[in-house]
Structure 1
């Protein structure tokens, strides 16, 4: 397929991902991968958008085979949309039922290990609903496949979603740059008397002017915190106002051309007579930034997520600060939490994701922080690309605590 004439980035990325999926089938010793969906405007499989960028109505099946062939079975009225992409080896439409065509396709594929989208640990690989799985198992039985031959696609989807293609990485870099530009402007609005909500409203207004979306729920993006009484976490901005002596924190990311950034930045509002933050603030600032950076230095292909997290976590606690009660890092991409490997502790809530090996091409948001009693919270977050032999930041890191002069 000639990519030189493709103008839609989503179509080009789908082509890149189909080629990548074939390579992963070989690596994981799987015969084929099946994405089986219906009414995608109502019930989405997160894996579908990797290989097909539009909505579908009737039962639809996309089969990617280890030999490089890929097949689309869709309702007749969707078939033309799929054909126009020129991404699949065959495209077939049906009218009354997908069952006979899909059973025949599975039979002819010769697949003995068929990967399907279910997972206890990775929501990005758990898009096959229970009802659709029942339907699929009945069709697979007609094709001679036993339930044990339908295996989880979680490892395939984790790598396919996590290892960013060249086009995906370009769009993530664009989202990061836009987020940084807006955060620079945000910092200029910080002043005594301005509320968290007013600061958040400023970013919302800028997003609307530029036709951009937030990387997560609009009401909770950005997260803005000022001073010691603000609740850190995922809460919406409050009516608390910035005061001298406050730490001001923002957690924010844009979604641009389908891809997200996720960054956190910090300011200190100088009190009258101050020319620098108090020693207590700077002490914790240095520890937090140090922990963030030692975690980055541990990030490389082949290590597991929990190993990276433990390096940053141990640095923080060794320097006398309490451990953060979340993961050190998460994949970013099409959403702010993009599935796959988690750079987090071996806690039950993270399932198997902290045991997933890091891969070159992963893009992580890395984050941690600590409270400064009487002043607020210091939290930092950067976006990092895993390279062949380590990791590099794709965000311009905050290396010093920004000051607001009153």
Structure 2
């Protein structure tokens, strides 16, 4: 197969997934997590499953999405060798009948995305088929098979994320120009969300964070009625979805001239982010990037003020692999859980160290990077100065 577009692009993804599940001695994989189904098929419906075999696939969905799914499978860039299976009685019944009828001895399922109730329904129905004399599969728990493939972006994905980063940079500039003393946090959040849409994004990637004064010491504060007041630190964290892919940015403003304490926090976090960015290279571990940021803050006496990880992967979801977090003493366990591992070209993630002082405020600076052959590429380019609102 050749070329980045068309069926070959999805075909390459399916081949990588097949290689992984065959290595786990599986004959097929039932994919039920929406982002994973989309990654392998381009299907964007909210209800669907994909049964991937070693040579063919079956896409299950209900009547709301059948017309779109048929068009998708017929398109030149649709998934290769994929059959559409309409839901008839119920989603669980259709999937169970599909599983029971494959004749495959071992089929994996995404345990992290399957409820106990759904799994019980599958096993009960498949078991009933076995009692009737059919050869039925063993359902095997799998972890992160598709997610590990998604962690390394292909050139088309990188192009989309690069454009999304440029768009988010432009949105940030517009948001900065609209900030005024006296605005409520909720007003600012509404302006951010409107600016994301008018800037070309499909939607916000998550609930926009606008936190002022002491609220900014809460890393994931929800915007409320508080007005931006003189002397406040204002933490803004927002992101958008472009062509299905998420980008994310955090910046900090002060209302009026910044206090010495605000300048100290901001300078420390900016230096920590610089150190983390400089640590990104192929072969470095994700925890090495976290460690670079953490050491700077510890040296400034702010180690205890940094209570979260340094970053998270970006892609079809706002939080995906790789995770950029503190090193686990049990490295093997961390790798198995997707909590650490060596970086590779094509990985895309945020770098967002922060420092928070309860009762006063907090600072977080966040940008998006892509790992290259010799370092990283900045996908957002906003500048890291402290925004002063007068």
Taking structure 2 as the reference length, what is the TM-score of the superposition? 0.78
- Check if 1:16 corresponds to 2:9: yes
- Check if 1:34 corresponds to 2:19: no
Distance 1:268 1:87, change over 3 A: same
Mind listing any 5+ residue stretches in structure 1 that lack a counterpart?
7-11, 38-43, 272-276
Q: Distance in 1 between matches of 2:154 and 2:275?
A: 27
- Check if 1:399 corresponds to 2:384: yes
Q: CA deviation at 1:171?
A: 1.9
Q: Distance in 1 between matches of 2:284 and 2:211?
A: 34
Distance 1:100 1:371, change over 3 A: closer
Per-residue displacement from partner, 1:348-386 (whole Å, max 9, x unpaired)? 9x9923234433222101212113688632210010112
Residue 191 of structure 1 is matched in structure 2 by: 180
Taking structure 1 as the reference length, what is the TM-score of the superposition? 0.75
Q: Distance in 1 between matches of 2:263 and 2:221?
A: 26
Q: Find the partner of 1:48 among 18, 29, 37.
A: 37
- Check if 1:256 corresponds to 2:242: yes
For the 8 Å contact 2:238–2:248, the answer to whether it is kept is: yes
Alignment of 1:38-187 (within 5 A): 45-54=34-43, 61-65=50-54, 69-72=55-58, 74=60, 78=66, 80-81=70-71, 83-85=73-75, 86-91=78-83, 93=85, 102-103=99-100, 105-107=102-104, 114-119=107-112, 129-131=118-120, 133-134=122-123, 138=127, 142-143=134-135, 145-147=137-139, 150-154=140-144, 156-187=145-176
Q: What is the Cα-based RMSD across aligned positions, in Å?
A: 3.8
Residue 373 of structure 2 is matched in structure 1 by: 388
- Check if 1:299 corresponds to 2:280: yes
Alignment of 1:224-373 (within 5 A): 224-230=210-216, 232-271=218-257, 277-323=258-304, 324-337=306-319, 339-345=320-326, 346=328, 352-371=337-356
Per-residue displacement from partner, 1:129-155 (whole Å, max 9, x unpaired)? 4246526864997546445xx35141x
Q: CA deviation at 1:336?
A: 1.4
Per-residue displacement from partner, 1:298-351 (whole Å, max 9, x unpaired)? 3334444334323322321122113422211111112211x2331123499x99
Q: CA deviation at 1:187?
A: 0.9
Mind listing any 5+ residue stretches in structure 2 that lack a counterpart?
none
Q: CA deviation at 1:99?
A: 6.1
Q: Distance in 2 between matches of 1:171 and 1:336?
A: 14
Distance 1:192 1:153, change over 3 A: closer
Per-residue displacement from partner, 1:244-303 (whole Å, max 9, x unpaired)? 3322221011112211111001223334xxxxx444333322221121122223333444
Q: Distance in 2 between matches of 1:33 and 1:290?
A: 48
For the 8 Å contact 2:350–2:367, the answer to whether it is kept is: yes
Q: Find the partner of 1:203 among 169, 179, 192.
A: 192
Q: Distance in 2 between matches of 1:201 and 1:181?
A: 17
For the 8 Å contact 1:22–1:64, the answer to whether it is kept is: no
Distance 1:258 1:56, change over 3 A: closer
Q: Distance in 2 between matches of 1:216 and 1:378?
A: 21
Distance 1:75 1:318, change over 3 A: closer
